[in-house]
Structure 1
């Protein structure tokens, strides 16, 4: 079986972790899809700021900081849950709260990676397809 042909050097590629709803960097209208996705990540009020819509790279920085604030809130919630809730919640309820914080923390890790990739692309970073040994078909 022949090996697949290499992608042209000028092809557009989305790296692992790239958000599904955003077109790859360099494709037509990709910045619009990136802007819409970033606005979905941010608080709804961000949609009312025309400057953020006009400058997607600035919006991306706002989104990074918003997601990182969510990550900090998760860490704080995990560190405080047992001390602050022990008077109002059972052990089972506190364990369920911990599960939610952990799930949310994992979700935010993925979103933070995606937002970071979009921010880098909006600043001009482009990604190249790579064929590793584990990807080769012999």
Structure 2
């Protein structure tokens, strides 16, 4: 993705943001016309997904312990942990895109 401020940088940013929302969001022209609104709603959507992952992780053993063998529980917990890490990285990126669209400048650190 081009850095914020580069010509056309919001076009790939909108595509990336839409990739992290439900596919039905692509039907609404408002998100392409107002990328800052898309970045804002994407951040909220990712927050909700993170909450769901955390709830699932906490409740998996209790809710499914009698129905899934220990190896399956361990594998499911590992998958939830990996998905949580992916969502956390996506949420951080969406937040940075939102900040960039709000005009915040980022200074590289050495």
TM-score (norm: length of structure 1): 0.76
CA distance in 2, matches of 1:121, 1:104: 26
Q: Equivalent residues in 2 for 1:35-74 (5 A)?
A: 35-74=14-53
CA distance in 2, matches of 1:62, 1:68: 10
Q: CA deviation at 1:93?
A: 0.5
Deviation string 1:23-68 (CA, Å, 9 cap, x unpaired) is 1000010011111111111110110111111000000011001111
1:104 counterpart = 2:83: yes
Q: CA deviation at 1:87?
A: 2.3
Counting matched residue pairs gives: 110
> Match of 1:23, SS?
coil
1:26 counterpart = 2:29: no
Q: CA deviation at 1:129?
A: 2.4
* Residue 61 (structure 2) aligns with: 82
Q: Normalized per residue, which structure has more helix?
A: 2
CA distance in 2, matches of 1:81, 1:44: 27
**Larger C-alpha radius of gyration, 1 or 2?**
1
Q: Unaligned stretches of 5+ in structure 2?
A: none
* Residue 114 (structure 1) aligns with: 93
* Residue 3 (structure 1) aligns with: none
Aligned-residue CA RMSD (Å): 0.9
